[in-house]
Amino acid sequence: MGATDIALGKLPTEPKKLSLISFSGDFDKLVATFTLATGAAAIGYEVNIFFTFWGLDAIKKKHGRAFVGKGFLPKLFGYFMGGLRSSPVSRLNFLGLSPKIFRYLMRKNNVATLEELVEAAKVLEVNMYACEMAMHILGLEKNDFIHEVKGVLGVATFLELSEGGRTIFI
């Protein structure tokens, strides 16, 4: 089947939905999360991302290291966890050098960087949600996140939102 045949094909009738659970705050895994999210949103999927634990780093207002959180321990933890810009890679991090190398290689090879993917996700109106329980542990509030985060959810609401679509844990 050629591209023209595909282009002139019938419209699909079934609703398309993709829900992602972003657990890891690792640079490479966040790239995977946002690549899937933006790609799916661009081809007409309804996309939900549920950020929990380390994944919450990706949606913090402060992109670098900052004392975010309520109380001494959460603040200290928040500092070491950092934000989107300080996310480490899951292997061979080399004290934070690898994410810089990755960003350089992505720009050099004209591949969207993590920051560009996040911006695209905002423009494509990907639904972003924060996990209520993880926020309590880390002393975070909704105001600590970017304003595109639509809400704070628990498991039951997330299951309700993701019903009828595919769910991926990253």
Partner 1 sequence: MLRSWNCLKVEEQYLFNLFYMATFKLDITREHCPMTFVKTKIELSKLKSGDVLEVLLTEGEPLQNVPKSSTEQGFKVLEISHVEGLVHKVLIQK
According to the binding rule CB under 8 A, does residue 13 interact with partner 1? no
**Pair 100, 27: CB distance under 8 Å:** no
**Pair 48, 19: CB distance under 8 Å:** yes
- Of 27-56, binders to partner 1 (CB under 8 A) are 35, 38-39, 41-44
- Of 119-148, binders to partner 1 (CB under 8 A) are 120, 123-124
According to the binding rule CB under 8 A, does residue 12 interact with partner 1? yes
Distance CA 115, CA 121 (A): 10
Count residues contacting partner 1 (CB under 8 A)?
23
According to the binding rule CB under 8 A, does residue 22 interact with partner 1? no
According to the binding rule CB under 8 A, does residue 116 interact with partner 1? yes
Three-state secondary-structure class, residue 58: helix
Least distance in angstroms from the C-beta of 142 to partner 1: 27
Least distance in angstroms from the C-beta of 89 to partner 1: 19
Token pair listed for 91: 């292997």
Burial class (CB in 10 A: 0-12, 13-18, 19+), 32: middle
According to the binding rule CB under 8 A, does residue 9 interact with partner 1? yes
According to the binding rule CB under 8 A, does residue 3 interact with partner 1? yes
Q: Which residues contact 55 (CB under 8 A, 6 or more apart)?
A: 21, 22, 23, 24, 25, 30, 33, 131
Least distance in angstroms from the C-beta of 11 to partner 1: 6
Q: Which residues bind partner 1 (CB under 8 A)?
A: 3-4, 6-9, 11-12, 35, 38-39, 41-44, 109-112, 116, 120, 123-124
